């Protein structure tokens, strides 16, 4: 089968011919990929940013936002059958550790991460496990929803955690209305009554944000003051920072009001905050990494009800290099999806 593999850091991935994965363990599931999302994390992987954390053996197949159809199941798999349409939680988890039993799949002590720690889904087939499979309506087109598996779950998880903070009368800021951010805006609109302000440097991204739930949009140039003005000088109750690099992180902290929370979802930058600022204003910094299995299942219920729609641009697997280049150059509105 064809697979998009990384052979070395700081070099473009290559489409290789590799053997198809097969079921080995009783809970293994092989999925025929219908769509694999292209994520900024893939660019960060190529730059070597994840090497120390994941230490994958090279070459391996990229792709951690996957959906498709069940192709083969292990002997003990009962929750899905061959032919089922599925979206995949990004982690392969054991189901027996404390985190798994609490539902916190992303903190599983023996998790592996296809596309980061070993072969992912930018290929014709992917090996995963029964616990990762969320069964979908058979009408669902995997390419339409694949990016919800990582971009979507991550945005949903952050919004879901913030719901108690976003009672009516509050204000939330979304920094970055790209792949994750445009899902975050829709989740906020679907789950809360908060006033949504979206900050982005790209006018097209802001136009899309206004169509999908943003009450106010703010372009770059005086964005901190603009948010202050929209919040009566107080700042926002919650800031969701989907960028968190190149200065967005200091903007995000400055836009967060007293007793507010700054949710870090993007990454790459560094926060330098005087501890006096933290105690005197009781502001919080909240980390977010992917989400739980139930987060993904809930998000799919919203997607199947038409409350969250992914804006996508599809590329054949063989054109993976174009998708990476377009994402890197900011030419993708919403999410790039590879279709084998």
The number of C-alpha atoms within 13 Å of 321 and in the hemisphere containing its C-beta is 7
Nearer to Zn ion, 38 or 106 (CB): 106
Nearer to Zn ion, 108 or 208 (CB): 108
Does 1 interact with Zn ion (rule: CB under 5 A)? no
E-assigned strands of 23-148? 28-38, 60-61, 66-73, 85-88, 125-129, 133-135
Site for Zn ion in 172-201 (CB under 5 A): none
Nearer to Zn ion, 20 or 94 (CB): 94
Site for Zn ion in 43-102 (CB under 5 A): 93-94, 97, 100
**In whole angstroms, what is the distance from residue 295 CA to residue 272 CA?**
31
Does 226 interact with Zn ion (rule: CB under 5 A)? no
From 92, 108, 155, 165, residue interacting with Zn ion (rule: CB under 5 A): 108
Q: Tell me the closest approach of the beta carbon of residue 252 to Zn ion, in angstroms.
A: 32
Q: Tell me the closest approach of the beta carbon of residue 38 to Zn ion, in angstroms.
A: 28
**In whole angstroms, what is the distance from residue 236 CA to residue 233 CA?**
9
**In whole angstroms, what is the distance from residue 171 CA to residue 41 CA?**
29
Q: How many CB atoms lie within 10 A of CB 66?
A: 31
**In whole angstroms, what is the distance from residue 184 CA to residue 152 CA?**
8
**Window of 28-36, 76-84, 106-114, 303-311 that interacts with Zn ion by CB under 5 A:** 106-114
Q: Tell me the closest approach of the beta carbon of residue 131 to Zn ion, in angstroms.
A: 9
Nearer to Zn ion, 94 or 144 (CB): 94
Sheet of 195-199, strands arranged across: 216-218, 195-199, 171-175, 236-241, 256-264, 284-287
- Binding residues for Zn ion, per CB under 5 A? 93-94, 97, 100, 108
């Amino acid at each position: 089968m064809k697979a998009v593999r990384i052979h070395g850091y700081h070099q473009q991935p290559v489409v290789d011919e590799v053997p198809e994965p097969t079921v080995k363990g009783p809970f293994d599931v092989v999925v025929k990929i219908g769509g694999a999302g292209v994520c900024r994390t893939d660019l960060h992987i190529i730059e070597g940013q994840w090497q120390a954390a994941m230490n994958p053996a090279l070459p391996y197949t990229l792709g951690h936002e996957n959906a498709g159809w069940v192709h083969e199941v292990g002997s003990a798999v009962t929750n899905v059958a061959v032919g089922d349409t599925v979206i995949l939680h990004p982690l392969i988890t054991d189901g027996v550790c404390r985190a798994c039993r609490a539902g916190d799949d992303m903190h599983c002590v023996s998790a592996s991460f296809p596309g980061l720690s070993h072969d992912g889904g930018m290929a014709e087939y992917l090996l995963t496990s029964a616990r990762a499979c969320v069964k979908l309506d058979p009408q669902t087109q995997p390419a339409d929803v694949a990016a919800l598996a990582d971009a979507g779950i991550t945005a949903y998880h952050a919004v879901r955690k913030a719901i108690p903070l976003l009672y009516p009368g509050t204000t939330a800021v979304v920094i970055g209305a790209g792949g994750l951010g445009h899902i975050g805006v829709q989740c906020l609109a679907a789950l809360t009554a908060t006033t949504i302000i979206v900050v982005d440097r790209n006018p097209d991204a802001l136009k899309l944000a206004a169509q999908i739930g943003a009450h106010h949009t703010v372009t770059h140039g005086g964005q901190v003051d603009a948010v202050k003005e929209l919040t009566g000088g107080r700042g926002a109750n919650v800031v969701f920072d989907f960028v968190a690099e190149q200065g967005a992180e200091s903007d995000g902290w400055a836009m967060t009001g007293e007793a507010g929370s700054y949710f870090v979802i993007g990454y790459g930058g560094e926060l330098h905050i005087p501890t006096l600022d933290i105690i005197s204003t009781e502001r919080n910094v909240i980390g977010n990494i992917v989400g739980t299995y139930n987060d993904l299942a809930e998000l799919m219920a919203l997607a199947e009800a038409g409350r969250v729609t992914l804006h996508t641009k599809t590329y054949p697997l063989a054109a993976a290099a174009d998708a990476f280049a377009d994402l890197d150059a900011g030419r993708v509105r919403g999410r790039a999806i590879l279709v084998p």
